[in-house]
Structure 1
Amino acid sequence: MTKQLSAYLNRDLSWVEFNRRVLQEAQDQRNPLLERAKFLSIVSSNLDEFMSVRVAGVHEQIRAGLTKMDFTGYSPSGLWKRLQKRTKDMVTEQYRTYREIVKCLSKEGIFIREYSELTITAQRAIADYYNEIVFPVITPMAVDQSRPFPHVHTKELYLAVTLRMEGEEEEGCEPLFAIIQIPSILPRCFAIPSRSNSKKQEFILLEDIITTFIDSLFTGYEVESVSPFRLTRNSDLSLDEEGAEDLLEEIEKELRRRKWGNPVRLEVECDIDAYALKVLKEELEIEEGLYMIDGPLDLSFMMKLSSMVNGHDQLRYKKFDPIYPFEFDEDKDIMSVIAERDVLLHHPFESFEPVNEFVWQAAKDPDVLAIKMTMYRVSGQSSLVKALEYAAAAGKQVTVIVELKARFDEENNIAWAKQLEKAGCHVVYGLVGLKIHAKLLLVVRREKHGLKRYVHVGTGNYNESTAKLYTDIGLMTSNDVIGSDTSALFNEITGYSVPRDWEAFAVAPAGLKARLLKLIDREIEHARAGKEAKIIAKMNSLSNQEMIDKLYEASRAGVHIDLIVRGVCCLRPGLPSISENIRVISIVDRYLEHSRIVYFYNDGEEEVYLSSADWMTRNLEKRVELLCPVFDSELKNLLIVILQLNLADNVKARALGVNGQYERVAIDQAPYRSQFESQQVERWKGRKEYVQ
């Protein structure tokens, strides 16, 4: 008898399937070779975060003795076992792909070498580098009765060394043990100097350099084995926000405690010395989270390696420069344009520069009285931060809501917050119990007929760097209704304001989910009345059970539903009498799909919304998130075109099947790649003269 499928897919197992899709991009020979290497690096970085947060959370549930099943039918122990198997299978596949890519690189004259493979000249260059740069930095740490096992930092690379005193008999005596931390302050990849007429480019890994000269660290001893290892700890923050008098101080304390999180994963190379492995397992108290790796640990170095390769443009994506939006010809004032019409920006195909210019113009404009914005993840050299500092110095009221709890950006955001405060900005450190994830920027200007509000609402962070890598949408508007709601939302976050009846916005945690459910109910009513009913929703993740159940209800009523979900999806499409009218696709391509767009047919009176929120419980119930309607009919049509481009993709789209597996969309027409089509942004904006 066939086992009945659960109506839900597990969130964490769905994430593993997402990372497998990233791995498939590393395997796809249609992608340029150095880009495949980058995808391989992303697989490692993704898995690091997943292990240190999600898998660590499951591990903590087991330690706490929890046995209750989640709504997808998994207990913590059952999920832990399944995750270990799935991730280990994926890692095995990842390293098989690594060996294939390294082989392909060698055919192009790009080599990752071992020391013994190098010429005498190259070996001398490496010896000089070791003696002058590496040796003074590294510190061997012995383990014996007087020196306990040192603290091993999360996600740092180490060498486990076994050794004996010179001349000591081996029998009946355990070897001595020491560890060495590979200094992360030094580059992981060393470019080996080559002859001027050589076309070869050779690299060697830092741990291999140290291993080659390991004897210099243990004079008077014989080194028996050198084994790389890497530990991943629980890195999720657990804050007592209610009891914290100072949220900034509490987060700084928690960041220090993060370094001591419980071990979750131990990575070692397959040929690790047996005694070294025994010591590591005992000292780190880890058994089930052991990963035996057939290759160098932590393949995230492939990202840096790709950037270190000189030339070889044919092995990279063709360079693409974002287009400066035609609405803002360079001789125009940003605010004067927004005063006349709403403008939609589609990153990375369109430049993020107008957002920077918007804030800079506001900072320098003597009629601008106030600037307010949210800050979740900001780039290292942020033009926006400099503009805000300038505005504060010019005497304007500058308010910045800095979310200190942005995972793994906490330290960066603390530094920005202190810098902004020092410059005279009013800095608000989020809210107790809630992350501020809404992307919102407000400029208040004194004009002839009174104060006017200019607003930018985004689906992505105010980050110039990720705006070149992520697909996101930004709406720039002076609409009075949106402006009024924006002012009210900032007042609600920064002060004491009773939640208002929003005119345009829907805001989580109080009302965004309710608004979405109501909008879906409206489509259900239309379908039951025999009218055409349609929903298209694009997001990063879908895991909230109530939203999934409402979509199932809509499907049963006859609503046609297309979901474009890049990552986690707990909804199972294609279930008879449950989700037969639901299609789910995921697009993994050159740019990270990040925009959140929601479309409702509404009996022909189409509505389109931009949002900062994924349909996850944390976004809908535990964060300040935003759902903003797009009123301008031309811009609504542009967003619908973006959704249609995604749905038409048959090159990088994968469709989620009823079995929970993703398969490439069958090509029964000419190949169509939505991100590359989106690069013709001039065409879908209706400016034929811009088509090249």
Structure 2
Amino acid sequence: MSTQLHPNKASEQILQSDYVSRDLSWFQFNYRVLDQSTNEQRSVFERLKFLAITASNFDEFAMIRIGSLYNYLDYGKERVDYSGLREKPFKTALFNEAQNFFAAQTEQFKKLMPEFITHDFEILGIDQLTDAEKERTAQYFKKTVYPMLTPMLVDIYHTFPVVMNKALTFGVVTQNLADTKHPKRLSFVQIPQNLPRFFEIQRADTLVFVPIEEIVRWRIFKLYKNIEILSVNLFRVTRNGDISIEESDDIEADFVDEVRRKLSTRRTGRVVRVEVEDNYSSYMMKILKQRWEIDYDNIFVTNSLMDFTGLWQIVNHPEFKEKTPVSHASVLPLSAAGNKHFDEELFDILKQRDILMHHPYNSMEPVVSLIEQAADDPKVLSIKMTIYRLAKNSRITNALLKAVENGKHVAVLFEVKARFDEENNIREAKKLQKAGCFVIYGVSSYKTHTKMMLIVRKEDERITRYVHLSSGNYNESTAKLYTDIGLLTTNEVYANDVSEFFNAITGHSVPDEYKYLITAPRDMRNQLIELIRQEAENARNGLPSGIVIKVNSLEDKATIDELYKASQAGVTIKLIVRGICCLRPHRKGLSDNITVRSIVGDLLEHTRIYYFHNGGNPKVYGGSADMMNRSFDRRLESLFLIVDEKLKQEAINILAYNVKDNVNSHLMHEDGTYHKRALHGHEKPFNIHQEFYDVTEDVVMNAKLF
């Protein structure tokens, strides 16, 4: 799928900049996700899954990034994008890309539709149903849907109706000639969001999905008796969801209540996008534009199914479970080879050696099991951990509750501002606090994104501290879909660093210099810059040099500038950036020695690894932080140095496999666009989302990046 930047008046200025716009780079990422839905080797259910992912991605982008732009536009604040454009011309460039991406999504859905029937399902309108099926559908409307519908009139006597964020809504224009003053009126009929997206009908060997909006449209006259309906138009609004929590240095007791209040604004915030079906009523749109202060940039017109996130009902349908690929069975970490009862013996194993886990190839189960064992183990004195996102019905929460019941000291730094998980996190944090856990809701104005855990255990007369450091969340559900690394260790240097870190965030301590940790907002940017500068110095002195970095996003200008300087000094730099990348590779005289690739496939790449060649004695870090302003300045983050030589080789091999991948890789051009990596000649496919299940110790120990 082409991901060319579409021309507009600002294109030339954008391309002249040494930095790629963060938001325009995001669209390139979502094109790479959409590209997965074009892969004919995937089942139609997988392809619909990726289409649904692009839709939920786009919803979040509209709420947060477009919402953020309107925070500047609406209040007259100045904003200069990385591309050098001011807020108004950038809005034009951004919406141009948004409109083109919206059209690409619709085009791809239409291409997939003919394949539905060959996979025993269809999405049909009312006119395509039999008389018996129409009767069943009419009964469903009468008994279930109709009682939930409420027409909301727009006039001077009523408050303008609140149209809910991301809800499918009908704008109905009616006419009553008996009303000589206002014969034409607009009203809204919102489809309840707690109803299934599709009504399901079994037809022989085919499962028919009827969109809920088509059922409501078919019977909407039931809501408007003795009045003429002039037009019925489906639309869907997206509202500004870029909430910001204003926090003082000392977080007050009502902080969680403030988060709850802010959350409510997502439902009623400023409208930033309106999706609407084509041939819409100009009368309706005139009212919407005036009321919501939007223009044609904000209006996204479709002649297809609206809101592809609804496709999850089909993708996850039990009827099609056997038609979706079976996940690989996880394998033991290389450093745990030979331990058949790895989960049960983890306390003993960690006293002998460190373990590096690579999820989901290595199951998250041992980490969850370790917390559950610690909760029951009478030798365990305390558990401290940071939590960013939890699974629903989290085993982690249950284990911590049990630990408190068993008299252990439990301290949890709980990030209640994790975007779109705020309500779940608040609920879980309150549950822990009520049980007696020491819960910290945040530190000053920083968001807690670091992932670490400390278990203190008394063994005979000795205290042993068990440490877990990770790039991923303590979430047993997403750990099956996200790639992450985690270090398990009893090494006292890690334990001291982590203990110091917890003391700093739960008390009033100012830690000494960490030995194996790099933390933000304290000094992460500066330390990474020093590591980059050392590689540049080595290159200038004729010593071996090289940098390989794998992150989700690369946006921080200061570190980008240092990477440019290192490239000019002769350092070979290989960047693996899944999503946003504001660095411009391959620019003559600026970034000749920098390559950027993005890997998008079956699993969501979430691992962060930083490799510095260091004259042949590599320094390798893993951790939670991307190279972003927010990571360095507004978050509690950590990177951990991997010191064990075997584990270091495992991390190096992860990077080497990423560079070698020729199935999921997209290579970045100077202009900010990407192309899919193609196989050359007799080259064999190398898909890391399969190859990592078969890694051997010989491969790992021989892995090299330079």
Report the TM-score, using the length of structure 1 for normalisation: 0.95
The partner residue of 1:216 within 197, 222, 228 is 222
Measure, in 1, the Cα distance between the counterparts of 2:305 and 2:287.
Answer: 21
> What residue is the counterpart of 1:184 in the other structure?
193
% identical equivalent positions: 38
Judge which range, 672-681 or 434-443, deviates more.
672-681
CA-atom RMSD in angstroms: 2.0
- Is the alpha carbon distance of 1:271 and 1:683 closer, same or farther for their aligned partners in structure 2, counting shifts above 3 Å? farther
> What residue is the counterpart of 1:488 in the other structure?
500
Measure, in 1, the Cα distance between the counterparts of 2:671 and 2:256.
Answer: 46
1:629 aligns with 2:641: yes
- 8 Å CA contact retained: 1:555, 1:579: yes
Q: Displacement of 1:679 after TM fit?
A: 2.7
- 8 Å CA contact retained: 1:18, 1:568: yes
> In the comparison of the two structures, how many residue pairs are matched?
680
The partner residue of 2:256 within 227, 230, 248 is 248
The partner residue of 2:98 within 66, 83, 87 is 87
- 1:140-155 matched pairs, under 5 angstroms: 140-155=151-166
Measure, in 2, the Cα distance between the counterparts of 1:68 and 1:384.
Answer: 42
The amino acid of 2:674's aligned partner reads: Y
- Is the alpha carbon distance of 1:456 and 1:418 closer, same or farther for their aligned partners in structure 2, counting shifts above 3 Å? same
- 3-state DSSP of counterpart to 2:260: helix
The partner residue of 1:63 within 63, 67, 74 is 74
Q: Displacement of 1:309 after TM fit?
A: 6.0
Measure, in 1, the Cα distance between the counterparts of 2:198 and 2:609.
Answer: 40
Measure, in 1, the Cα distance between the counterparts of 2:83 and 2:223.
Answer: 53
Judge which range, 396-405 or 170-179, deviates more.
170-179
Judge which range, 235-244 or 412-421, deviates more.
235-244
> What residue is the counterpart of 2:8 in the other structure?
none
- 8 Å CA contact retained: 2:386, 2:448: yes
Judge which range, 262-271 or 482-491, deviates more.
262-271
1:653 aligns with 2:659: no
Judge which range, 551-560 or 146-155, deviates more.
146-155
> What residue is the counterpart of 1:116 in the other structure?
127
Measure, in 1, the Cα distance between the counterparts of 2:465 and 2:23.
Answer: 42
The partner residue of 2:312 within 277, 289, 303 is 303
Q: Displacement of 1:280 after TM fit?
A: 2.1
- 8 Å CA contact retained: 2:481, 2:603: yes
Measure, in 1, the Cα distance between the counterparts of 2:137 and 2:488.
Answer: 54
Measure, in 1, the Cα distance between the counterparts of 2:433 and 2:590.
Answer: 53
Measure, in 1, the Cα distance between the counterparts of 2:217 and 2:55.
Answer: 23
1:526 aligns with 2:538: yes
- 3-state DSSP of counterpart to 2:294: coil
- 1:482-561 matched pairs, under 5 angstroms: 482-561=494-573
Q: Displacement of 1:225 after TM fit?
A: 2.3
1:82-134 per-residue CA deviation (whole Å, 9 max, x = no partner) reads: 01000100110110001111222133331001011011222222122222222
- 3-state DSSP of counterpart to 1:135: helix
- 8 Å CA contact retained: 1:125, 1:193: no
> What residue is the counterpart of 1:272 in the other structure?
280
> What residue is the counterpart of 1:263 in the other structure?
271
> What residue is the counterpart of 2:687 in the other structure?
673
1:229 aligns with 2:235: yes
Measure, in 1, the Cα distance between the counterparts of 2:218 and 2:236.
Answer: 19
The amino acid of 2:531's aligned partner reads: L
The amino acid of 2:190's aligned partner reads: Q
Q: Displacement of 1:250 after TM fit?
A: 1.6
- Is the alpha carbon distance of 1:563 and 1:278 closer, same or farther for their aligned partners in structure 2, counting shifts above 3 Å? same
The partner residue of 2:211 within 190, 205, 212 is 205
Measure, in 1, the Cα distance between the counterparts of 2:521 and 2:200.
Answer: 51
- 1:381-420 matched pairs, under 5 angstroms: 381-420=393-432
- 8 Å CA contact retained: 2:538, 2:615: yes
Measure, in 2, the Cα distance between the counterparts of 1:233 and 1:119.
Answer: 39
- 8 Å CA contact retained: 2:518, 2:640: yes
Measure, in 1, the Cα distance between the counterparts of 2:365 and 2:678.
Answer: 38
The amino acid of 1:214's aligned partner reads: I
Q: Displacement of 1:233 after TM fit?
A: 1.2
- 1:338-417 matched pairs, under 5 angstroms: 338-417=350-429
- Is the alpha carbon distance of 1:381 and 1:480 closer, same or farther for their aligned partners in structure 2, counting shifts above 3 Å? same
- Is the alpha carbon distance of 1:285 and 1:178 closer, same or farther for their aligned partners in structure 2, counting shifts above 3 Å? same
The amino acid of 1:241's aligned partner reads: E
Measure, in 2, the Cα distance between the counterparts of 1:649 and 1:507.
Answer: 31
- Is the alpha carbon distance of 1:683 and 1:171 closer, same or farther for their aligned partners in structure 2, counting shifts above 3 Å? farther
1:292 aligns with 2:301: yes
1:511-540 per-residue CA deviation (whole Å, 9 max, x = no partner) reads: 111111111122112111111101110000
Q: Displacement of 1:259 after TM fit?
A: 2.7
Q: Displacement of 1:164 after TM fit?
A: 3.2
The amino acid of 2:591's aligned partner reads: S
Measure, in 2, the Cα distance between the counterparts of 1:308 and 1:40.
Answer: 16
The amino acid of 1:452's aligned partner reads: T
1:24 aligns with 2:35: yes
- Is the alpha carbon distance of 1:661 and 1:71 closer, same or farther for their aligned partners in structure 2, counting shifts above 3 Å? closer
The amino acid of 2:524's aligned partner reads: L
Measure, in 1, the Cα distance between the counterparts of 2:510 and 2:83.
Answer: 37
Measure, in 2, the Cα distance between the counterparts of 1:223 and 1:683.
Answer: 72
1:348-369 per-residue CA deviation (whole Å, 9 max, x = no partner) reads: 1221111110001100110100
Q: Displacement of 1:60 after TM fit?
A: 2.0
- Is the alpha carbon distance of 1:145 and 1:76 closer, same or farther for their aligned partners in structure 2, counting shifts above 3 Å? closer
Q: Displacement of 1:263 after TM fit?
A: 1.4
The partner residue of 2:465 within 445, 448, 453 is 453
Q: Displacement of 1:456 after TM fit?
A: 0.8
- Is the alpha carbon distance of 1:409 and 1:672 closer, same or farther for their aligned partners in structure 2, counting shifts above 3 Å? same
> What residue is the counterpart of 1:690 in the other structure?
none
The partner residue of 1:37 within 15, 29, 48 is 48
Q: Displacement of 1:62 after TM fit?
A: 2.1
- 8 Å CA contact retained: 1:520, 1:551: yes
The amino acid of 1:176's aligned partner reads: R
- Is the alpha carbon distance of 1:133 and 1:594 closer, same or farther for their aligned partners in structure 2, counting shifts above 3 Å? same
Q: Displacement of 1:543 after TM fit?
A: 0.5
The amino acid of 2:588's aligned partner reads: P
1:565-606 per-residue CA deviation (whole Å, 9 max, x = no partner) reads: 000001011111211111100011011111101111111112
The amino acid of 2:325's aligned partner reads: Y
1:162-221 per-residue CA deviation (whole Å, 9 max, x = no partner) reads: 2234xx489996422211111111111221133xxx211110111111111112222333
Measure, in 2, the Cα distance between the counterparts of 1:620 and 1:419.
Answer: 31
- 8 Å CA contact retained: 1:399, 1:426: yes
Q: Displacement of 1:322 after TM fit?
A: 2.8
Report the TM-score, using the length of structure 2 for normalisation: 0.93
Q: Displacement of 1:486 after TM fit?
A: 0.6
Q: Displacement of 1:415 after TM fit?
A: 0.5
> What residue is the counterpart of 2:21 in the other structure?
10
1:335 aligns with 2:347: yes
Judge which range, 331-340 or 477-486, deviates more.
331-340
- 8 Å CA contact retained: 2:446, 2:634: yes
- 8 Å CA contact retained: 2:20, 2:82: no
Judge which range, 658-667 or 468-477, deviates more.
658-667
- 8 Å CA contact retained: 2:649, 2:700: no
- 8 Å CA contact retained: 2:22, 2:82: no
> What residue is the counterpart of 2:587 in the other structure?
575
> What residue is the counterpart of 2:3 in the other structure?
none
- 8 Å CA contact retained: 2:48, 2:315: yes
1:587 aligns with 2:599: yes
The partner residue of 1:605 within 575, 598, 617 is 617
The amino acid of 1:56's aligned partner reads: G
- 3-state DSSP of counterpart to 2:243: coil
- 3-state DSSP of counterpart to 1:427: strand
- 8 Å CA contact retained: 2:553, 2:578: yes
The amino acid of 1:209's aligned partner reads: I
- 8 Å CA contact retained: 1:122, 1:193: no
- 8 Å CA contact retained: 2:453, 2:468: yes
